[in-house]
A and B are shown apart, each in its own frame.
Chain A
Amino acid sequence: MTAPVEIRAVSRRFGTTLALDSVTLNLKAGEFAVLLGPSGCGKTTLLNILGGFLAPSAGAVLIGGQDVTALPSARRPTTTVFQDYALFPHMSVADNVAFGPRMRGIGRAARRARADEMLALVGLEGAGGRRPHELSGGQRQRVALARALAVEPDVLLLDEPLGALDLKLRRQMQDELKAIQRRVGTTFVHVTHDQEEAMAIADRIVVMNAGRIEDEGRPERVYLRPRSRFAAAFMGEINLIPARVGGAENGHLLLDTALGPVRLALRGDLSAVAPGTRLALGVRPEHLRPDAEGLRIPAIVTEAAFFGTHHRIHARPRPAGPELVAHLPQAARVAPGDEVVLSFAPASAILLPED
């Protein structure tokens, strides 16, 4: 089962701090949404409000068009996969998974079958007779997922469920989560601070900071065209180059940057952009390349490291400019002290407000 989620101007106050500041968000039915942000950004607070563990100070939550703001968690069409799994330690794995159906008054045989079906879905066939403490972290995670899905929730909430797993297992579980989500079609709302994880699984990424939504949209859009400096920096490494508007001419914005003049093609009305406005030009390290067309930046390599898929270098532009981070192709040969000429296509640059 699945349903859309509507969050209307939800705020939450803890004492004097505002953990959520009038957050509005609409999620489509069957969407895999990821709430992404640093700790303390309000993402877990928002998840707890969706799950009914916390009441909002203001605003409303609608699931499937029904206002659930006043409903306790037991009566919401949501279930949660907790960060620490929160499995019932005194019950077998099968009884854990069958707990939700049991609370809904489903008979012993039927819920037993349901538990087996769910355990098969998460790849734990035949583990039903074991106790949670006999399982590995990854297996417990799967049991928690099976338990939450056993009641066919409209919305599944996942609170940093992969945080305790090692990197390899985490990547594997991401793929499985995504596959399971596609199979069951339930709306997933997943909280994480790991932007790679967010991009690996999300249909929609919601970047949060200080109780507000900084940006939200498809992973490509949020990564390539972030709407705020915070979102740009949180989604991945970025070079921020101070810039000043020099003027506009037929669909192009002329910028004076610390590295030289840049001509950006922009759609929309440019007459509102006053010459002299200070901006920042964001360039991702992988867009700074020795072979790209556009502004040429001679620079001296100050540091270089091989990352497998690329060389990551720090370079100091000559004669002047902010230090840049660039990813050079795998086959490149660079060492500190080398001279390189970097360039980037203006189309790949991101225009961001100055601080």
Chain B
Amino acid sequence: MNRLLPVAAWGYALALYGFIFLPVAVLVLFSFQDGRLPIPPFDGPSLKWYSQVWGDRKLMAALGNSLAVAMLSSGVAVALGFLAAWGLARGRLWGTRAMQGLITAPLTVSYLLIGLGLMISFNLSGIGPSLVTVGIGHAVINTPLCFAICFASMGDHQVNIERAARDLGAREWQVLGLVTAPMLMPAILAAFALSVTFSWDEFIIAFLLSRFDVTLPVEIWSLLRSGLNPKTNAAGSVVFLISVAVVLVAEIVVARRRA
């Protein structure tokens, strides 16, 4: 029994990671396919599909759009989430608990519903779909997340540190800018990085709220409509690679700040 346990544990771990990562591995593998179809047998490796992606004006424009939307919407989401967390953690307001629940509630609502709701709202108010509306949509879905991360990192031990700053003559905006935000920078960076990755590969909201300029997932989706093609694999791999890079950079920055 005791000897079986490690074997079982390893087997379970392998199955789990295989289940999670095998689809991605297959996607990445067939992006290096030399033939016209991303299906076995694999012949290659070849970088020709990557060079096609690189040469595709629309794909590259979509990649730029995605980056811009991810950065700006995440900046807005982090700013809103952090300020809300600070207000609810430090202020003594009536119904703090209820407000806290209300802010995090959208985390449980499907992106489809949020996307539809935003689409209808923008329609009613006469705002046409564009990258700006996509950015607003992403800020809407990421603000609750940023709030939750920032709120969780606001402990009581920081209250005294903020008091000390006030005691030494800091005004409220100085406390926020010089003490609270720098002190919570690991949480803020983590929230920002997560927001960026969520916005980066978000499809449904971006699809519903954009028209001419689209983000990368939407562009990949329109590629898919013309059938399976290793080029979509290559584009998907680029999306995956950038997500991983963002998370790694965030991890390193956070780890360095903690050290």
A325 to chain B minimum Cβ distance, whole angstroms, is: 40
Taken together as a complex, chains A and B put the C-alpha atoms of A185 and B189 apart, in Å, by 45
Q: Is B244 an interface residue (CB 8 A)?
A: no
**Cβ-closest chain B residue relative to A72:** B166
A158 to chain B minimum Cβ distance, whole angstroms, is: 12
CB pair A103 B157 closer than 8 Å:
no
1/0 contact trace for B168-191 toward A, CB 8 Å?
A: 111100100011001101000000
Please report which residues of chain A, range 96-121, place their CB below 8 angstroms from some CB of chain B when the two chains form the complex.
99-100, 103-104
On chain B, the residues within 8 Å of A79 by CB distance are 167-168
Please report which residues of chain A, range 38-77, place their CB below 8 angstroms from some CB of chain B when the two chains form the complex.
51-53, 72-75
Taken together as a complex, chains A and B put the C-alpha atoms of A72 and B168 apart, in Å, by 11
Q: Is A147 an interface residue (CB 8 A)?
A: yes
The one of A52, A89, A90, A147 that contacts B168, using a Cβ cutoff of 8 Å:
A147
Given known contacts A84-B157, A90-B183, A99 and B168 CB-to-CB distance under 8 angstroms: yes
CB pair B183 A103 closer than 8 Å:
no
**Cβ-closest chain A residue relative to B164:** A86
Taken together as a complex, chains A and B put the C-alpha atoms of A103 and B174 apart, in Å, by 9
Given known contacts A86-B160, A86-B161, A74 and B167 CB-to-CB distance under 8 angstroms: yes
**Cβ-closest chain A residue relative to B170:** A103
Q: A86-B164, A100-B169, A148-B168 are in contact. List 10 more A-B contacts (CB 8 A).
A: A73-B163, A73-B167, A79-B167, A82-B163, A86-B160, A88-B183, A89-B161, A89-B183, A99-B178, A103-B169
Taken together as a complex, chains A and B put the C-alpha atoms of A148 and B166 apart, in Å, by 12
Q: Is B165 an interface residue (CB 8 A)?
A: yes
- Tally of contacts, chain A with chain B, CB under 8 A: 60
CB pair B179 A88 closer than 8 Å:
yes
Binding site for A on B (CB under 8 A): 157, 160-161, 163-171, 174, 178-179, 182-183, 185
Taken together as a complex, chains A and B put the C-alpha atoms of A200 and B169 apart, in Å, by 31
Q: Is A151 an interface residue (CB 8 A)?
A: yes
Given known contacts A84-B157, A89-B183, A103-B174, A74 and B166 CB-to-CB distance under 8 angstroms: yes
The one of B157, B161, B169, B178 that contacts A104, using a Cβ cutoff of 8 Å:
B169
The one of B161, B168, B182 that contacts A100, using a Cβ cutoff of 8 Å:
B168
On chain A, the residues within 8 Å of B163 by CB distance are 53, 73, 80, 82, 86
On chain B, the residues within 8 Å of A103 by CB distance are 168-170, 174
Task: Bin chain A's interface residue count.
Answer: 20 to 34
The one of A51, A99, A148 that contacts B165, using a Cβ cutoff of 8 Å:
A99
On chain A, the residues within 8 Å of B164 by CB distance are 80, 82, 86-88, 147
On chain A, the residues within 8 Å of B183 by CB distance are 88-90
The one of A80, A84, A88 that contacts B167, using a Cβ cutoff of 8 Å:
A80
Taken together as a complex, chains A and B put the C-alpha atoms of A99 and B171 apart, in Å, by 12
The one of A53, A87, A151 that contacts B161, using a Cβ cutoff of 8 Å:
A87
Taken together as a complex, chains A and B put the C-alpha atoms of A72 and B157 apart, in Å, by 21
A235 to chain B minimum Cβ distance, whole angstroms, is: 30
On chain B, the residues within 8 Å of A52 by CB distance are 167
Residue of B163, B167, B171, B182 with most chain A CB atoms under a 10 A cut-off: B167
A131 to chain B minimum Cβ distance, whole angstroms, is: 10
A163 to chain B minimum Cβ distance, whole angstroms, is: 14
CB pair A151 B166 closer than 8 Å:
no
B130 to chain A minimum Cβ distance, whole angstroms, is: 39
1/0 contact trace for A146-157 toward B, CB 8 Å?
A: 011001000000
**Cβ-closest chain B residue relative to A83:** B160
On chain B, the residues within 8 Å of A90 by CB distance are 182-183, 185
CB pair B182 A74 closer than 8 Å:
no
On chain B, the residues within 8 Å of A53 by CB distance are 163, 167
CB pair A73 B161 closer than 8 Å:
no
Given known contacts A53-B163, A82-B163, A74 and B157 CB-to-CB distance under 8 angstroms: no
- Between-chain CB contacts (< 8 Å), 12 pairs: A52-B167, A53-B167, A74-B166, A74-B167, A87-B164, A88-B183, A89-B161, A90-B185, A99-B168, A103-B170, A147-B168, A148-B167
On chain B, the residues within 8 Å of A104 by CB distance are 169
Q: Would you list the 7 A-B pairs with minimal beta carbon distance, nearest first?
A: A103-B169, A100-B168, A86-B164, A86-B160, A90-B182, A86-B161, A73-B167
On chain A, the residues within 8 Å of B174 by CB distance are 103
A96 to chain B minimum Cβ distance, whole angstroms, is: 9
CB pair A84 B160 closer than 8 Å:
yes
The one of B161, B171, B178, B179 that contacts A74, using a Cβ cutoff of 8 Å:
B171
Taken together as a complex, chains A and B put the C-alpha atoms of A201 and B25 apart, in Å, by 70
On chain B, the residues within 8 Å of A84 by CB distance are 157, 160
On chain A, the residues within 8 Å of B161 by CB distance are 86-89
B179 to chain A minimum Cβ distance, whole angstroms, is: 6
Taken together as a complex, chains A and B put the C-alpha atoms of A70 and B134 apart, in Å, by 48
Taken together as a complex, chains A and B put the C-alpha atoms of A53 and B159 apart, in Å, by 11
B154 to chain A minimum Cβ distance, whole angstroms, is: 14
Residue of B163, B165, B169 with most chain A CB atoms under a 10 A cut-off: B169
